[in-house]
Amino acid sequence: MSVAHDPHYGPWTIEQVLALEEDRGQRRELIGEALLMSPAPGAKHQRASSRLWQLLDSAVQQSGASAEVLEAVNVILPDGLFIPDIAVVEASAAAEDPIAFDSDAVLLVVEIVSPSSSGRRTDRLLKPPYYAEAGIEHLWRLELEPVPALIVSELSGGRYVERVVAEAGRETAVEAPFPLKVDPSRLVSPRRKRPDLP
């Protein structure tokens, strides 16, 4: 069965991208007027995202901050539209159930680095300046390869400065924007069957 559609090759606007039908098989992001599409992430990425979401959600609740932790939401930037793996947003903005969040409502973005070479360039080099231009104060980058590491950066003088690097096998304290302790290796390790269960 084929589906008729009107192909659009660009340039793209934020409104056009947000009007596209939802597709769980890929992410659609916008840089300037160029559409970036990436496949759905793999199991290791999903596992890390879920576990880091849990850690952040618990830290937000314990801090009493008026914020909500969300996975894979649209964030509108001055010159684009990104979908960070995790975003911590102001609770008042989340309560409105928007299809996209303005960057001024975003406290923290987390990017989990894609294993492809183009994905690594996008997550490490391309996205940070756009987040910085938008004034998002905190950016975390979770590297999965060659060993898990969490790079915690904070906006300073218009660019991100690394404050903490959490390495695999060692529990590291992160103080801002919410205090928590993290061992990146625990974010990616597959669950083992408990020996006391049949």
CATH number for the domain running over 41-188 = 3.90.1570.10
What was the pLDDT predicted at 117?
65
List C-alpha distances in Å: 98 to 89, 91, 95, 108: 12, 12, 8, 17
Spatial separation of the C-alpha atoms in residues 58 and 45, rounded to whole Å: 20
Cβ atoms 38, 45 nearer than 8 A? no
pLDDT in tens, the chain (198 residues): 333 344 667 799 999 999 988 877 788 999 999 898 888 888 999 999 999 999 999 999 999 999 999 999 999 999 999 999 999 999 999 999 999 999 999 999 999 997 776 778 889 899 999 999 999 999 999 999 899 999 999 999 999 999 999 999 999 999 999 999 999 999 998 877 655 655
What was the pLDDT predicted at 195?
58
Residue bearing tokens 């104060």: 137
